[in-house]
Amino acid sequence: MVFCGRVNPITGSLVWIEEDENYDYHQEIARSSYADMLHDKDRNEKYYQGIRAAVKRVKERGEEVIVLDIGTGTGLLSMMAVTAGADYCYAIEVFKPMADAAEQIVKANGFGDKIKVINKHSTEVTVGPDGDMMQRANILITELFDTELIGEGALPSYEHAQHNLMQECWEAVPHRATVYAQVVESHRLWSWNKLLPMQLDSRTVQPPSEMESCPGAPSVCDVQLSQVKLEDFRPLSDILVVFRVDFSKQISSSPVSHIVNFTSLANGAAQVVLSWWDIDMDPEATINCSMKPSWLYPALHPVPWRDHWMQCVYFLPKETKVTQGEEMSLIAHQDDYCVWYNLTTPSAADCHSTEIAACRCGAHITWNRARFGELNDQARMDKYKEALKEVLTPSSVCLCVSDGSLLPMVAHSAGAAQVFTLESSFMAQQLMDKLLQTNNLKETIHILQKSQDNITAADLGEMKVTALVGEPFFTTSLLPWHNLCFWYSRTALSRHLAKDCTVLPMSASLCVLVVEFKDLWRIRSPCGNCEGFDVSIMDEMIKKSLDFRESQEAEPHPLWEYPCRALSDPSNLITFDFREKVPTEDIIAEGSLNLVRSGVCHGVVLWMSYQLTEDISVSTGLLEVSDETGDCHWYPHRKQGVYFFSSLWNLASAPKESQSAVTYQLTFKPQIGELRMSFIPKT
């Protein structure tokens, strides 16, 4: 056992936890996408078809079939190769626990004499009588791809293997990859990248000029693009082939730029590049596995679902106005790990800078994509504005407690005489300072870059706070209830609050809903048998790691990307009263959730709803449920908590005379800032 220091996201305090020395291993297994990949039937079938075709081509040349499988994981692709007729297979896996599992799986399926699992990085593998491989391979099988295709270091791994581990002539599965892109205008997607002007009654909050001109964060935004509606963007280009990678030829990981010329389809503002890729498993491109979004499939065509590979949203460094029929050049810059884009005219394409864009304003370092979207949510901000107008007066002394919030400016606009804002980090303080200066509020709103425990009366001008407000939002929060940090801040600030101090939000409720997921259940569902191979050892590893995890009760997911149906009515299980201090005794809720719809019960979703005033509330989770279908509409700018059941529960098979329900027991332990939960399906 080892002791590790951690900051509790709710209390904000540092705690020392005794952890098993295998903690990091269990975390990596629990957070992996192994189950998702093993459930990806389309991927598995296409790989199997491609492997069989490659083995056949080598055998037709009269050669012994020697396979190199880089990143073997469970060993599935290696077993496919031997089943297809390969004479021997070297399966490389750098993660030791996974390599050990692959060795067990290979032996359990009877392939121990034909598959050698090598626990090394592929660049460390040697060939020769005393090496890891007795001879070079003539079929190269890999699954080194991520949503961006090359983000897991696929190109350097291919480059080294082709130089050092492969014969002069080799087959590759997949054979080639093609990256596609489309230039679009999208207010919704652009609001994930820029702070847009915010209307506050008689004035508009403007972003600082350096924020407007900032090229943004260089990292790709990976999403389930199928859940972005067609009306949320306007195509300005056709779908373009940006570049191809032929894995059967020598690959270079050196930086390169690809220039693609196109004619603009419409007038608009070019802001975003949507991108995805596909892989051909054979030279003739008859076996294709595509990552394209669902709206590009023909009607009624089955759409493969996968979470380990999604689609990419790239934000252009600046918004560019284009006119219909105008010739433009999209430039894709590629190094050994990532891709980034620029847009220019054909005449300027050759002299365009190849440097990757990086944030200069600090906002893209302080706020993630979802937070940008939340700050740009005018409807949400209007609710806060309405609530603050109800509680603030010209004599109000207002203190805002949230990370990087616009509420101080809303409070000032609502009429507060004095406004203070508590910023937890130097970066957030600098960002707020720029915002206030741009909007001529630097002398009106006072920034306190201190912890709530260190605030003094002098910091507040010897005044008592008459209105304590928050969204609440804290950058350290992962799960919805982590933002109860606001309650602990309110308690720590009690000595500075007036007796009749208004607290907004006045309370928060922990809400739950029993759901059937369309696809997300796959990431936690046992695989057992995959394409005829027993991989149940992997199921045992994942289950053990999930049971081991500290946060085994729930995990965060942005449910707007993952369709689901409500099987129960939404319920408020615990209400936290922010008008009072954090209690010392546990808060316990027990009961049952009656199920009102049939379906397969996959788990429970949890979120927070905040009561700003008696008649104004905001939800960070469920927004609407369809009465007819039970389809759920989720708040898109926060992640919700998902508690997966250990096994699927089909309500259609439950006795009709019984009332199906999910019993629950929740315990919030204020002393340590921990929420413990148990949900059990019952009939």
Tell me the C-alpha distance between 618 and 609, whole Å: 6
Within 13 Å of residue 335, how many CA atoms lie on the same side as its CB?
7
Residues 6+ apart with CB under 8 A from 166: 68, 136, 137, 138, 140
* 614: DSSP letter: T
Contact 74, 101 (CB under 8 A): yes
Task: For Cα atoms 120, 532, 103, give the angle at the middle one, nearest 5 degrees.
Answer: 25
Q: Which two tokens stand for residue 462?
A: 């010897």
* 560: DSSP letter: G
Q: Which two tokens stand for residue 490?
A: 């309110």
* 235: DSSP letter: E
Other residues' Cβ atoms within 10 Å of the Cβ of residue 498: 14
Rounded to the nearest 10°, the torsion over CA 373, 375, 380, 383 is 180
Tell me the C-alpha distance between 208 and 683, whole Å: 58
Q: Provide the pairing of β-strand 66-70 with 88-92.
A: parallel
- Residue from 196, 302, 293 nearest 235 by CA: 293
Other residues' Cβ atoms within 10 Å of the Cβ of residue 382: 14
Tell me the C-alpha distance between 14 and 10, whole Å: 11
Tell me the C-alpha distance between 144 and 161, whole Å: 13
- Residue from 638, 633, 610 nearest 383 by CA: 610
Tell me the C-alpha distance between 381 and 391, whole Å: 16
Other residues' Cβ atoms within 10 Å of the Cβ of residue 454: 9
Residues 6+ apart with CB under 8 A from 110: none
Catalytic residue among 45, 152, 326, 531: 152
Give 310-369 as a DSSP string: -EEEEEEEEEEEE-TT-EEEEEEEE-SS-EEEEEE-GGGGGG---PPP--SSSHHHHS-H
- Residue from 566, 569, 571 nearest 633 by CA: 566
Q: Which two tokens stand for residue 554?
A: 């729930």
- Residue from 153, 127, 130, 138 nearest 81 by CA: 138
* Three-state DSSP class for residue 390: helix
Contact 73, 79 (CB under 8 A): no
Tell me the C-alpha distance between 211 and 398, whole Å: 27
The distance in angstroms from the start CA to the end CA of the chain is: 41
Query: Which residue matches tokens 């009654």?
Result: 201
152 included as an active-site residue = yes
93 included as an active-site residue = no
Query: Which residue matches tokens 């983000």?
Result: 151
Catalytic residue among 93, 103, 143, 148: 143
Residues known to be catalytic? 143, 152
